[in-house]
């Protein structure tokens, strides 16, 4: 059976938000990683259980801002059905913020898209 799937990319301008890790002993190598909201969006887009578990663990250590996640998701370019991407994103949000958080995220996405005319 052939099914439709999407391709997701990092949020717009994620390169400008890269964070440099301080690793003792490294003098000639700079290691940069995505800002944690950007990384969460990238992991949520993949949709694997282990990625969702990682997002939950990240949230426990350094909580995410719901609005920032919604804004970054809204600016993430994708191919494939938007509806499927939204369902995956809202499932991740529910794991982090509960059902009320997912409802809030849905409203925020609708508001952002209305502003952009999408």
Domain contains 80: yes
pLDDT of residue 47: 77
pLDDT bin (cut points 50, 70, 90) of residue 5 is low
Q: What is this structure's pTM?
A: 0.85
Q: Which residue has the tokens 């995956």?
A: 88
Look at residues 81, 77, 85 and name the one whose alpha carbon lies nearest to residue 105: 85
Is the per-residue pLDDT at 36 higher than 70? yes
Domain contains 20: no
Distance CA 62, CA 41 (A): 15
pLDDT of residue 24: 93
Distance CA 32, CA 96 (A): 25
Q: Which DSSP helix (H) or strand (E) runs through 26?
A: none
Domain contains 97: yes
| Number of domains present in the structure of the chain | 1
Residue 56's domain comprises: 36-116
pLDDT of residue 83: 85
Look at residues 19, 88, 15, 21 and name the one whose alpha carbon lies nearest to residue 55: 88
**pLDDT tens sequence across 41-91:** 998 887 788 999 999 999 999 999 999 999 999 998 877 788 888 988 999
Domain contains 29: no
Distance CA 108, CA 70 (A): 7
pLDDT of residue 3: 52
The whole-chain average pLDDT of the chain stands at 89
């Amino acid at each position: 059976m052939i099914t439709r799937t999407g391709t997701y990319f990092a949020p717009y301008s994620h390169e400008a938000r890269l964070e440099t890790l301080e690793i003792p002993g490294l003098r000639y190598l700079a290691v940069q990683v995505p800002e944690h909201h950007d990384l969460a969006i990238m992991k949520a887009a993949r949709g694997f259980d282990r990625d969702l578990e990682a997002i939950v663990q990240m949230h426990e250590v350094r909580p995410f801002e719901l609005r920032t996640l919604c804004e970054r998701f809204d600016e993430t370019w994708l191919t494939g059905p938007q509806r499927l991407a939204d369902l995956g994103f809202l499932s991740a949000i529910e794991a982090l913020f509960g059902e009320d958080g997912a409802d809030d995220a849905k409203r925020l996405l609708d508001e952002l898209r209305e502003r952009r005319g999408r």
